[in-house]
Amino acid sequence: MTTDLAKQLDELIEFLGHEQAQLRQVAAEYILGLSAGDAGDLLKDAESGRLPRLLAALDKALADEPEIAHLSIKTFITLSKDHAVLVHLNNPEFLLKILTLILTPSSVLASLACMLLSNLTHNAEIARTLVRLAPVTAIKAPPAVVMPEHQIPPADRPRVRFLRASVEMVLAQPTAMDQLVEVFVRGVGATTDKNAKPQRWYNKDADFHFLASVFANVSQHSEGRAFFLTPIVQRYPEEPAKKPANPEPKKAKTEPKPKGGKPNNKKNKGKNSKPSASTPAPAPTALEGTSTSTTTAVLSEADPTTALSKILCFTDYPDLIRRGGVTSTVKNVTFDLRAHPDFLDAKHPNYLLHSLLVPLAPAEIADALLESDQIVDLDTIPDWLLSLPTDHYVERDFGLKSALLEGVLVLASTRAGRTALRAAGAYLVIREYHKEEEHVPCRLVAERIVDMLMRDEGETEDLQHLLESVGLNMPDKELEAVVTGKLGDMDIEVEYTGDKKAERKAAPATTAAVPAAAAPVSAPAQAAMDEDEESDDDLAIEEIC
């Protein structure tokens, strides 16, 4: 039986390259169904050579007709849960192909490509490859982007202007990760209203929420944290170029002309050679199908903006996946102890103290503090707490509350951190939070934070010992001079298994885990998820084949 099934699978893989589109589509449908069933192990059998052939055929199918490409990327998503498959997909060219699907404004596969990239970056090597990846240099722009403005209907002009500027800014970024952050920020309009329909001005078929889980996965590693914490001008000082208004003219060097009158270019030979796919390089700003032109969306040398500062505004976003991935990223970067002074400096772009504390503060915290008998002097209450509106976003998801608390706990591991936390009113926030929290693991971390803030000052707390004191372990993922690690990150994996339902998976018990959020694969599934989030913290998302 197994032998017969293996032969059938081999035939199906061959049909993925058939000249008739109808047969290719039927083969893709069968392979998608089999990939999540009992035949999945046979499909992923590397020893038989079946897996490389399957992945190559699916890769080619991504450029096929939309229906076939849709089935292909769904199969990739299901297969990418397996480590053996991920090893074969750690390829810069393949990653650039997925990024092109994400960055193209008219791509109907952008959301699925974000899900696939989320699964891929669970692999540490792929995550590092992505951080080092050169940018996508050209994308196919919608006709309206290159159309003269007078030919665009007046009602559509605001969106077209936004899209044109967005495409130029995306192509101006020096790395693939910078491009993903730019699309993530521009993909939907910022809102805290759960009932408001998000504006999709970059791609009407994509919200890019799953890029947040990509950021959470990447920030588990030192290179990823450095990416989020360092401005572009410091990472690649030669890349962003905002030329001065009146640059001093440079004196041209006169070169002797060889016979024939042609200039001597031997010295410059090779200087403009094409960079490798894994090395960051300047991105030309050409739109595919249009003439090459210099973008107006140049990056300023004086701009201190970091990738982290761009995504911080989404810690109170209504969508669980987007909010959860950003929250996990914020918590992950706190493990870079060298960056703690920036996290605690209100004037620094990477200031994240309020991003951790505000979602933990109860809605009526200002009134509670004013009425508290424990407050003798109102001047001891920070102004931001008294002015906090009662309708500010309060985190409800236990996993995300745990991630926020863990971030505060890591900041409290140093004397400077504890001093800044006290000055910011962290003790008052955690105390009021603790009064209302019923979840025991979250209460335990909150109590440890209060203990850290109320104790007599001593030496810097050993972070490993501090985490163990609340039942947490710091994974030995990277041995570095400074403490780094992963703690309860979004662990999002998407699998298509027919009509079955899959519960969100929690991380291993050794960590305070953020519940994994299953991905919607269609607009109706997303709408159902949004409706249920308010009343159910343990979402079960129907997976669609």
Whether residue 318 has pLDDT greater than 70: yes
Calpha distance 497→77 (Å, rounded): 11
Between 9-23, 78-92, 449-463, the lowest mean confidence (pLDDT) is in: 449-463
Q: Assess whether 436 and 518 both reside in one domain.
A: no
Question: Residue 473's pLDDT band (boundaries 50, 70, 90)?
Answer: low
- Which residues are within 8 A (CB) of 302 and not within 5 positions of it... i.e. 6 or more apart? 233, 242
Return the bridge partners of 501, or none.
542
Q: Assess whether 366 and 452 both reside in one domain.
A: yes
Last residue of a domain, one of 72, 96, 114: 72
Last residue of a domain, one of 72, 95, 117: 72
Last residue of a domain, one of 51, 72, 93: 72
Between 98-112, 171-185, 480-494, the lowest mean confidence (pLDDT) is in: 480-494
Question: What is the SS3 assignment for 230?
Answer: coil
Give the H or E element holding residue 139: strand 138-140
Q: Assess whether 431 and 382 both reside in one domain.
A: yes
Are the C-beta atoms of 418 and 455 separated by less than 8 Å?
no
- Of residues 402 and 188, more confidence is placed in 402
Are the C-beta atoms of 181 and 311 separated by less than 8 Å?
yes
Highest mean pLDDT among 92-96, 154-158, 506-510: 92-96
Residue 380 within a domain: yes
Taking the model in full, what pTM does it have?
A: 0.76
Token code pair at residue 318: 């209504």
Q: What's the chain's Rg over C-alpha atoms?
A: 26
**Exposure on the CB side of residue 8, measured as CA atoms within 13 A:** 11
Q: Assess whether 443 and 506 both reside in one domain.
A: no
Calpha distance 445→486 (Å, rounded): 16
Are the C-beta atoms of 304 and 349 separated by less than 8 Å?
yes
Average pLDDT, the chain: 75
Are the C-beta atoms of 182 and 295 separated by less than 8 Å?
no
Whether residue 512 has pLDDT greater than 90: no
Segment 492-513 shows an average pLDDT of: 35
Residue 454 within a domain: yes
Calpha distance 490→513 (Å, rounded): 8
Whether residue 534 has pLDDT greater than 50: no
Q: What pLDDT is attached to residue 273?
A: 44
Question: Residue 399's pLDDT band (boundaries 50, 70, 90)?
Answer: very high
Residue 420 within a domain: yes
Residue 4 within a domain: yes
Say how many domains are in the chain: 3
Question: Residue 331's pLDDT band (boundaries 50, 70, 90)?
Answer: very high
Residue 125 within a domain: no
Q: What pLDDT is attached to residue 233?
A: 77
Neighbour tally for 515: CB within 10 Å: 24
Q: Assess whether 399 and 518 both reside in one domain.
A: no
CA angle 26, 32, 37 (to 5 degrees): 125
Question: Residue 544's pLDDT band (boundaries 50, 70, 90)?
Answer: very low
Calpha distance 503→501 (Å, rounded): 7
Segment 395-423 shows an average pLDDT of: 93
**Domain span at residue 509?**
501-542
- Of residues 190 and 393, more confidence is placed in 393
Residue 283 within a domain: no
Whether residue 543 has pLDDT greater than 70: no
- Of residues 192 and 503, more confidence is placed in 192
Q: Assess whether 371 and 456 both reside in one domain.
A: yes
With pLDDT > 90 as the criterion, what percentage of the chain qualifies?
44
Give the sign of the dihedral formed by CA 161, CA 166, CA 171, CA 173. positive
Q: Assess whether 510 and 447 both reside in one domain.
A: no
Q: Assess whether 461 and 520 both reside in one domain.
A: no
Per DSSP (E only), the strands in 411-485 are none
Residue 305 within a domain: no
Closest by Cα among 403, 352, 357 to 515? 403
Q: Assess whether 418 and 371 both reside in one domain.
A: yes
Q: Mind listing the pLDDT tens digit for each residue in 53-68?
A: 999 999 999 999 999 9
Whether residue 39 has pLDDT greater than 70: no
Q: Assess whether 508 and 443 both reside in one domain.
A: no
Question: Residue 403's pLDDT band (boundaries 50, 70, 90)?
Answer: very high
Strand 286-288 to strand 540-542: parallel, antiparallel, or no bridges (unpaired)? unpaired
Residue 366 within a domain: yes
Q: What pLDDT is attached to residue 101?
A: 96
